[in-house]
Structure 1
Amino acid sequence: MPPRAEAFALVCEWTQSESLRKHMLAVETAMRAYARRLGQDEEAWGVAGLIHDFDYERFPNDAQAPDAEHPAEGVRHLRGLGWPEEILEAVLGHAHYTGVPRTTPMAKALFAVDELTGLITACALVKPSRAVRDVDVAGVRKKMKDKAFARGVNRDDIVQGADALGVPLDEHIGLVLAAMQDNAAALGLAGVPQPHSASTAISSDA
């Protein structure tokens, strides 16, 4: 099992986009929460979430080729480093177009949380506070119905992912949301300082 530090070093080496790095950290956070819920190996699940998009910036795969670019190129690199097949299969399976079936709990969870973390992040960033603490399940469900919001998020993947895990959608959203709230600072979602109102400001002349 590769240590998390090795996975994070690869993320930083291959990905310069801060928002994409934060996305991978969010997916790691959600995967760890699901591992705890399901009694699975938290480190392995966390590393799978952390590494899943590490090659996306170099190999974006706009053509959605099943065996080239993201995630195939990244998986080839990881396989050369001796990474466990369970993680590699989960990474391949999180993209529909690879044709790799999601047969393990890890693979199902990775697919289920990937798009959802993106939607929750978008919900947080439109709050005046820019804080994930101010997001709730009802708000996420409302934004899911608004197809003009966060257009890049695939709503069907979120629904299908929860179904594959056998978890009700609201419960699925709640679990991932709570995990992201607990790790808000690392995800850049702790919010921005709010300005003091004139009525509460302390005068320097006092």
Structure 2
Amino acid sequence: MLPTREAATALLHAHVQDPYQRTHAVMVATALEGYAAHLNEPVNLWFVTGLLHDLDFEQHPAAHPGPSLQWFKEWDYPPDLIHAVEAHAYGYNAFQTLPQTKLAAALLATDELCGLFYAYRKMNPIAYAAMKPASILKKFKEPAFAAKIDRRVIELGVQHLGVPLADHIANVGRFLAPLG
């Protein structure tokens, strides 16, 4: 059973108080929604997965995404959502699940990249649609910029998604345009 967007948003607000983490969840959800439409995949599933992918991070960072995975199973959420959330944590807290679906690959490729877009916007406050993909790619290649962003995870996700990195950056920028 996939929750509605409204129910997923309420769940996000019940578990996540940090304004950045809420913003991040909306960014990832919006980017995944764009990818779903682009790839002719279930838009609501991809959006809700993006919205809830870090549901436990604020309260359980040392166990993330373990608690969320347990909740999602108890709540009988779709297996594709559960797999994507598990795979997005590849290399984090000893999680080693590789993406086996387009949704999981897109979440892995998009999650950290949204953090890079956010950091770029903090440095250069312009609309996402006005960001040049080449500028984001340049910052991607500068390890000192947004140093906590794991570029290897983005590259792994892009590899599994089957999209060149430069195209992925352009797609995510375009998909984030509705957020301003």
Task: Give the TM interval when normalised to the shorter protein.
Answer: over 0.9
Residue identity in the other structure for 1:103: Q
State the alpha-carbon separation in 1 of the partners of residues 152 and 95 from structure 2: 17
Q: Which residue, out of 120, 136, 139, partners 2:135?
A: 139
Deviation (angstroms), 1:130:
4.7
Higher Rg: 1
State the alpha-carbon separation in 2 of the partners of residues 37 and 138 from structure 1: 21
Output aligned runs, 1:99-110, within 5 Å. Answer: 99-110=96-107
Kept in 1, the 8 Å contact 2:56–2:67? The answer is: yes
Q: Which residue, out of 120, 125, 130, partners 1:123?
A: 120
State the alpha-carbon separation in 1 of the partners of residues 41 and 129 from structure 2: 27
State the alpha-carbon separation in 1 of the partners of residues 95 and 10 from structure 2: 25
State the alpha-carbon separation in 2 of the partners of residues 10 and 75 from structure 1: 14
Q: Which residue, out of 79, 90, 93, partners 1:85?
A: 79
State the alpha-carbon separation in 2 of the partners of residues 100 and 155 from structure 1: 17
Structure showing the higher helix proportion among its residues: 2
Deviation (angstroms), 1:131:
3.5
Deviation (angstroms), 1:33:
0.8
Residue identity in the other structure for 1:176: V
Unaligned runs of 5+ in 2: none
Normalising by structure 1, report the TM-score: 0.82
Q: Which residue, out of 181, 188, 191, partners 2:177?
A: 181
Residue identity in the other structure for 1:161: G
Give a deviation string over 1:34-73, Cα, whole Å, max 9, x none.
1111110000011011100011000011xxxxxxx21010
CA RMSD, Structure 1 to Structure 2 (Å): 1.2
Deviation (angstroms), 1:99:
2.2
Normalising by structure 2, report the TM-score: 0.93
**SS of aligned partner of 1:57:** coil
**SS of aligned partner of 2:144:** coil
1:167 aligns with 2:163: yes
Kept in 2, the 8 Å contact 1:125–1:131? The answer is: no
2:67 corresponding residue in structure 1: 73
**SS of aligned partner of 2:72:** helix
1:149 corresponding residue in structure 2: 145
**SS of aligned partner of 2:97:** coil
Give a deviation string over 1:115-156, Cα, whole Å, max 9, x none.
1111011111101x3543442111101111211110110111
Deviation (angstroms), 1:87:
0.5
Unaligned runs of 5+ in 1: 62-68, 185-206
**SS of aligned partner of 1:124:** helix
